[in-house]
Chain A
């Protein structure tokens, strides 16, 4: 009925579109140091570590008794008892117990996706504050009983009489007792992530030297960042660990070059992927505090960066069309195009180092004229990433990679880097994040200095 009364003087406000949303700012982050599997956190559960990361964040920003709009986090390797992992961590923290929470799982992109999901809620006006995060423990991984034993146990539970129960128990065979440990193999190909990447590394002809150099830079950059206190307000120690235990500040290219290949040994071509240029299994947790500008201002909290936008992509690795970890190659050009940006407009590139080969294959694909034309639908190559802007404070090869915790690590560090950088040529400093994930997926995002 009101439509007839609408006045058409002046422009109509669009009901959708960027104009109607508000900024989602990154206030800061906190993570615990990452520990190589079987190390300092061998007795820590996902809930322990996520709670610890959350508690450090609460202490840093004085969030005790605060009702946060929503907390979102997740884990890749998850016990069935952790069905409400994030909510349980909130209840174990100093946050208001009236803070809602949800779990999310998107393999290694989990952490970045929690940031994007909560940012969107903030932009839409659904919440004023949010904590994104992720955690993973390969030390405290769930172990399932075998499929045979599982069926027997479920039948046993349904049996009513003793005779029925004894019959069912009699079905158990020794082979049923072998436990079913989790692995990082792809269900549809049976190949481990490393073997998949070895295929891609060989396809893009990435040399051993280039991979070792990337790994070396990662350790050197991370060590330098620790030395100048960059992580003083990004990390809270945990269980006696004050730095990422995988970091080898004194490693050299010579040392890296002596390591024996561990993946791609039966590909025919020379195997190039070693334990030095691949990330180890790692335990750890990270969190990021997001809010509206008003919420941050009202509490005197910093505004490091804004979450501009994000994009997910997936590739058909099952049929070998693209490599398993190459989805970000497609997500990034789509995201850049949406904002009319090129690599020239990016000041920091944070490309998750699942393997040195992943980063180098990605960069090579973007520099490839043919690939740009045929696969990305561009006039030529997407562009060349300035290596001086790549993972300048180290990345997963040095820090380690507790799957779901990596996104939060990168977002908080990049936000701080952007804040320190401030403006570039009169525009806010800008950073690109790219995270590859199992299942042929990838999530990428752009942050801008606030």
Chain B
């Protein structure tokens, strides 16, 4: 679980010493467990628009302790800045400075969440400037927060209310422990599709989910998390990983499908298995991926082609089968695992970077094809995640990678899985074509 250094500096003597020496001070992050409250402590809703009033009313309806003005010295669980009505960069000051005055009262593992409009839908240069300004503001603020607190933003297209289903879905995700390792990121809501779950602890009840690469690491965590949220699981991995796959499938009370996803008929086999055994197919998580690292100068064809074949070509082919299937038409969800290497690049990973960049391109393009039947497709881009794979990195490189983010620690496989579970849910119906980074706001790269 949490790395040893984080445990050491989280309390007692270790905490005092780290503080005096100016060492990084990661805290144990608040992670979601069934039955956990959305957030503890009062929530300050800042902003004077009608949209802000609506959010305050909604939060009261959820049973949260809502403040429209901060009380002196009162600890806050979260600060929500509703900036949906700003027209000019000059409008930002009042709201953000009011919120800023409350930052010292933000609890450990607290949340700052902005709700604003997408700049591409702005009608005037000043409006676009104000909206884009919030992007730079939030990413900077996220780097100022301490003690496991995160800052994330929700972007709404112009016609959308702050209380549209996926805006509220995203708000709940960012407030909760499900977003523990998501920091400095935005989610864009594009439509009024989607609905909040009846049972917040079982948002995937009745769904059948296929998870590729499920035998270990992040894939196994995805299977466990989707199962925890109520989904029935089809766990897929290559036949050679079948023993680990069987253990995961039995743990989550699902079925194991030993299948090489790069086979031509993989999509057909996945659909057939899900429909025959479980009666339907709602969610496909493309998690399976491989690395074959080499500097490009030393790259051979086998290394290049195998990474492309498994990491992106297989996903494209399976998606074609899914899009053509009559069994994948009831608001289905596809979530792909990309990587920060596909965004910022990584030395020695030209093949992997190309494949993961490819995943992002695929997701953006496929969104339009999913829309006619209420489907969505999104990607999650993990940063440094504590897995068997990263445990094998040389100590110094691993330690650097682990600390070089705003939360000063690596993420857990569960953190990636939580983001995928959210994007797989009905609540995320208005979010499609997005790439959500789960990287603790990695400091290097994009």
Contact = CB atoms under 8 A, between A and B. Distances in A.
- State whether these chains interact: yes
Contact of A300 (B243, B259, B279): B279
Interface size class of A (residues with CB under 8 A): 20 to 34
Nearest to A241: B243
B255 interface: yes
Contacts of A229: 239, 260, 263
Nearest to B244: A237
Contacts of B279: 300
Contact of B249 (A59, A231, A232): A59
B277 interface: yes
Given A56-B242, A61-B255, A62-B253, 6 more contacts: A55-B246, A58-B250, A232-B258, A237-B239, A237-B243, A299-B277
A55 B235 CA distance: 14
B250 A64 contact: yes
Contact of A62 (B239, B245, B255, B259): B255
B278 A300 contact: yes
20 contacts: A55-B247, A56-B242, A58-B246, A59-B247, A59-B249, A59-B256, A62-B255, A64-B250, A232-B260, A233-B258, A236-B242, A236-B245, A236-B258, A237-B242, A242-B239, A299-B277, A300-B276, A300-B277, A300-B278, A301-B277
Nearest to B256: A59
Contacts of A94: 250
A60 interface: yes
Nearest to B248: A59
From B245, B249, B258, B277, residue with most partner A Cβ within 10 Å: B258
A58 B276 CA distance: 16
A52 B244 CA distance: 11
Contacts of B247: 55, 59
A242 B256 contact: no
Contacts of A60: 246, 255-256, 258
Nearest to B241: A237
A94 B251 CA distance: 8
Nearest to B240: A242
B2 to A, nearest CB: 30
Given A55-B246, A59-B246, A59-B249, A232 B255 contact: no
A147 interface: no
B148 interface: no
A238 interface: yes
Contacts of B256: 56, 59-60, 236
Interface of A: 52, 55-56, 58-62, 64-65, 94, 229, 231-233, 235-239, 242, 299-302
B250 A52 contact: no
B254 interface: yes
A56 B254 CA distance: 12
Interface in B225-270: 235, 239-243, 245-247, 249-250, 253-256, 258-260, 263
A231 B240 CA distance: 11
Contacts of B253: 62, 64-65
B357 to A, nearest CB: 31
Contacts of A233: 258
B239 to A, nearest CB: 5
B240 A237 contact: yes
Nearest to A55: B246
A242 B254 CA distance: 22
Contacts of B245: 59, 236
Nearest to A52: B243
A55 B242 contact: no
Contact of A238 (B243, B250, B255, B278): B243
Contacts of A232: 239, 258-260
Contacts of B242: 56, 235-237, 242
From B239, B245, B260, B277, residue with most partner A Cβ within 10 Å: B239
Interface size class of B (residues with CB under 8 A): 20 to 34
B246 A236 contact: yes
A261 B243 CA distance: 38
A236 B260 CA distance: 14
Nearest to B234: A62
A202 B249 CA distance: 51
A345 B384 CA distance: 62
Contacts of A61: 255
Contacts of B263: 229
A289 to B, nearest CB: 13
Interface in B159-191: none
Contacts of B241: 237
B250 A55 contact: yes
Nearest to A65: B253
A56 B239 CA distance: 12
A139 to B, nearest CB: 19
Given A55-B246, A236-B246, A62 B240 contact: no
Nearest to A240: B243
Interface string B285-324: 0000000000000000000000000000000000000000
B243 A62 contact: no
Nearest to A95: B250
B288 to A, nearest CB: 15
B70 to A, nearest CB: 51
A220 to B, nearest CB: 21
B267 to A, nearest CB: 16
A257 B245 CA distance: 41
Contact of B239 (A235, A239, A302): A235
Contacts of A56: 242-243, 246, 256
A200 B235 CA distance: 50
Contacts of A52: 243
Nearest to B278: A300
Contacts of B246: 55-56, 58-60, 236
A64 to B, nearest CB: 5
8 nearest A-B pairs in the assembled complex, by CB-CB distance: A59-B246, A59-B256, A59-B249, A62-B255, A94-B250, A236-B242, A242-B240, A64-B253
Contacts of A242: 239-240, 242
A189 to B, nearest CB: 41
Contacts of B277: 62, 299-301
Contacts of B278: 300
Contacts of B250: 55, 58-59, 64, 94
Interface string B368-411: 00000000000000000000000000000000000000000000
A301 B11 CA distance: 53
A60 B242 CA distance: 10
Contacts of B243: 52, 56, 236-239
Contacts of B276: 300, 302
Contacts of B259: 232
Nearest to B252: A64
A233 to B, nearest CB: 6
Contacts of B258: 60, 232-233, 236
Contacts of A237: 239-243
B166 to A, nearest CB: 32
Contacts of B255: 59-62
Interface string B74-106: 000000000000000000000000000000000
A59 B259 CA distance: 14
Interface in B342-359: none
Contacts of A302: 276
A60 B276 CA distance: 13
A171 to B, nearest CB: 49
A423 to B, nearest CB: 21
Contacts of A59: 235, 245-247, 249-250, 255-256
A232 B260 CA distance: 9
A300 B278 CA distance: 7
Contacts of A235: 239, 242
A383 B253 CA distance: 49
